[in-house]
Amino acid sequence: MIVTIDGPAGSGKSTVARLLAERLNFRFLDTGAMYRAVALAVLKASADENHHTAVAEVAKGVSISFDEDRLLLNAQDVTSEIRSPEVTAISSIVAANPEVRKRLVELQRDIGKLVNMVMAGRDQGTVVFPDAEHKFFVMADLEARARRRQRELAYEGVQQTLPVVMEQLRQRDERDETRVHAPMKPAINALVVDTSNLTIAEVVEMLIDRVQVR
């Protein structure tokens, strides 16, 4: 069985997806981490993130795999590196490249064939798994998401003001929503959950109820 959870950055979707997978005894895949891995490979190759063919070449040449919770890029553990501000800044540019998407969608479908999965991303319910049994779109207003992101950054030792974090999220949302290939949007049959005023635990309960009832 496939459960998809799509939504914007800071909506809480990855945390919710991880907890939901634990409760259901499913595997969890954070597809955003895969786009981040390609973005990191682009940085490492000193390629121009806006150069279509250069980015496509990098994407073709990389190997991306998972070892439990660790993400391996060309067999190297890059789990922490893909969270850097430099990678975050270009990830949505790299993710707009259709060759990158083609490569990663294939990988995601292969992984989805193996076991029961909770897939988190932007296009899991719309493009990658249109026939998924359960689809959710988890969102929150920009300020709520920016406050969460600001807390995460502070935890990592990075201090940023709320307006700066809001602007970064807004730009990323805009790129993810307006790109031509697989733009971020709820699938027609997805349940849209606004998490602005909900705790993570409340969201997980809501999703569990939905998955177990049907």
Q: How many CA within 13 A on the CB side of residue 90?
A: 21
Sign of the dihedral through C-alpha 158, 163, 169, 171: negative
Bridge partners, 29 (sequence order): 119
* Alpha carbon of residue 63 to chain centroid: 18
> Tell me, what amino acid is at 105?
V
Name the site residues for ligand DC (rule: CB under 6 A): 9, 31-32, 35-36, 91-92, 95, 121-124, 172, 176
User: CB of 174: closest distance to ligand DC in angstroms?
Assistant: 10
Give whichever of 30 and 214 is closer to ligand DC, judged by the CB atom: 30
Give whichever of 25 and 195 is closer to ligand DC, judged by the CB atom: 195
Give whichever of 121 and 209 is closer to ligand DC, judged by the CB atom: 121
User: CB of 30: closest distance to ligand DC in angstroms?
Assistant: 7
User: CB of 88: closest distance to ligand DC in angstroms?
Assistant: 7
Give whichever of 7 and 26 is closer to ligand DC, judged by the CB atom: 7
Find the largest Cα–Cα distance for the chain: 50
User: CB of 212: closest distance to ligand DC in angstroms?
Assistant: 25
**Cβ pair 195, 10 in contact under 8 A:** no
